Amino acid sequence: MTQDDIRLIALSLPEAQEHPHFDRPSFRVRGRIFATLPPVGEDGIWKVVLKLPVLVKESLTETDPDAVVSLGNWDRGGWTQLDIGRMDEARLADLTRLAWRQVAPKKLAAGEQA
């Protein structure tokens, strides 16, 4: 999976839009960010940052520690940076959808028109 794959998943979600955020792509629903794509670092790792429930982030950190990449000061409130190459594609797609549900209005997330 690549960042382009993440982009396709994110933009397939209801009302999702792509906007720049500090010179990187971000994906939003009604103005609220649920994912960003950091630039590829010197390490060559493709990453995604997702707004996940804190318990999901904690679980990922325990069950798949090699996939979770520290965000430094942003490592709180559920913001989770993942190494795309170390994640199962289906699981990463599910986590992207979960991040969208975290910030989407409840009626929209439930499949209703808000």
| Domain spans in the chain, listed from the N-terminal domain onward | 3-109
**CATH class name, domain 3-109:** alpha beta
pLDDT of residue 70: 80
69-74 long-range CB contacts below 8 Å, 24 or more apart? 69/45, 74/49
Which amino acid is located at 24 in the chain? R
pTM value? 0.91
Q: In whole angstroms, what is the distance from residue 45 CA to residue 40 CA? A: 6
pLDDT digits (tens, 9 = 90+) for 11-41: 999 999 999 999 899 999 999 999 999 988 7
